[in-house]
Amino acid sequence: MPRLVLEARRIAATVIHGLHGRRRAGSGENFWQYRRFVSGEPARGVDWRRSARDDHLYVREQEWEAAHTVWIWPDRSPSMVFASPIVWETKLDRALIVTLALAEILVEGGERVGIPGLLRPTANRNIIDKIAQALIHDTGERAGLPPAFSPAPLSEIVVLSDFWSPIADVKAKISQLSSNRSRGHLVQVVDPAEETFPYQGRIEFLDPEGAGSITAGRAETWQADYARRLEQHRAAIRDETDRLGWSFAINRTDRPASELVLALHARMGVSQDSTVQMPAPQPQAEWRSA
């Protein structure tokens, strides 16, 4: 955890800080813009210093800073511990780093951040330490999908998981989380090997969650079927996120975590499109196993 905390702080420091404003006039401390005075408005709203510069009267407007709640849930189930030999971190490491870094940035911007089942929404400046302590002392079940909870209307939810659960379970969970008109962002965190299936020769595949094993005599002959099943699974998730107005992104652990943090932070509080644009993966070296 100390290494993950340090990496999260480093990533958060590279993102431009400041309030996560909605870019509209309202109550707040930060200046937004000057606009022309409209006849009939109270004279106390006039900014006389700015108005003295020319022949018009101007009103000084502040930026709306109403904070909202963002729930972030990192999948810590056994399947997230997987890491292939060509990457330096597990899927679990990536999910936790992004969770901590994003929480730090959001709190700096005046938002409240919570972890379903672990931490109530808070704007505490020590948010990284609070989340880290909650994770360390959590002895609950490591499920592959978020626990059932009722987010407040118009709050936002970020789920970081490999989403290898049965598609029916994934759809049911997304539907439940969006029932209060909450907006959401699903991020499928995957290892490069789970994308490309680079195996050749006789390979034994083990289920990290205890469902057994299966052996392929010539693993390379499975690649086409694997790619087709993978795309079908993702297409079903996209269909559900499109229907609900949520976003869906794929993040490979051979890409920098900062790319994902920046993309998610940019989408906080904006109208939803179904796709988050992520940089294209870099070519990977071939693997051969016997």
Pair of tokens at residue 287: 């693997």
Task: Examine residue 288 and state whether it is found in any structural domain, yes or no.
Answer: no
Task: Examine residue 216 and state whether it is found in any structural domain, yes or no.
Answer: yes
Which 8-state DSSP code applies to residue 80? G
Say if residue 39 is in the same domain as residue 125: no
List Cβ neighbours of 265 (8 Å cut-off, separation of 6 or more).
Answer: 15, 102, 105, 106
List Cβ neighbours of 30 (8 Å cut-off, separation of 6 or more).
Answer: 19, 21, 62, 63, 65
Asked whether 69 and 151 are in contact (CB, 8 A), the reply is yes
pLDDT over 90 percentage in the chain: 53
One-letter amino acid for residue 219 of the chain: A
Per residue in 201-222, pLDDT tens?
A: 999 988 887 778 889 899 999 9
Domain containing 127 equals 2-17+66-267
Confidence class for position 96, pLDDT limits 50, 70, 90: very high
Task: Examine residue 24 and state whether it is found in any structural domain, yes or no.
Answer: no
Task: Examine residue 160 and state whether it is found in any structural domain, yes or no.
Answer: yes
**Model-level pTM?**
0.77
Say if residue 162 is in the same domain as residue 89: yes
List Cβ neighbours of 244 (8 Å cut-off, separation of 6 or more).
Answer: 174, 175, 178, 184
CATH number assigned to the domain comprising residue 207: 3.40.50
Give mean pLDDT, residues 47-67. Answer: 78
pLDDT at position 118 is: 92
pLDDT at position 56 is: 86
CA distance 51 to 54: 6
Per residue in 192-201, pLDDT tens?
A: 999 999 999 9
pLDDT at position 269 is: 62
Residue 212, classed as helix, strand or coil, is coil
Per residue in 106-134, pLDDT tens?
A: 988 888 999 999 999 998 989 999 999 99
One-letter amino acid for residue 151 of the chain: P
List Cβ neighbours of 92 (8 Å cut-off, separation of 6 or more).
Answer: 74, 75, 76, 80, 81
Give the residue with greater pLDDT, 279 vs 186.
186
Give the residue with greater pLDDT, 87 vs 25.
87
CA distance 202 to 41: 79
CA distance 245 to 222: 34
Task: Examine residue 103 and state whether it is found in any structural domain, yes or no.
Answer: yes
Say if residue 42 is in the same domain as residue 167: no
Q: What sections of the chain are H helices per DSSP?
A: 2-14, 48-51, 91-108, 127-136, 167-177, 192-196, 223-244, 257-267
Q: Which of 80, 82, 70, 171 is nearest to 116 (CA)?
A: 70
Task: Examine residue 26 and state whether it is found in any structural domain, yes or no.
Answer: no
Task: Examine residue 137 and state whether it is found in any structural domain, yes or no.
Answer: yes
Q: Which of 247, 237, 77 is nearest to 172 (CA)?
A: 237
Look at the chain and report how many structural domains it folds into.
2
Cα angle value 107/71/20 (rounded, 5°): 35
Say if residue 190 is in the same domain as residue 122: yes
1-10, 11-20, 224-233, 251-260: segment of lowest average pLDDT? 11-20
Say if residue 150 is in the same domain as residue 35: no
Which 8-state DSSP code applies to residue 178? T
Mean of the per-residue pLDDT values of the chain: 84
CA distance 272 to 260: 17
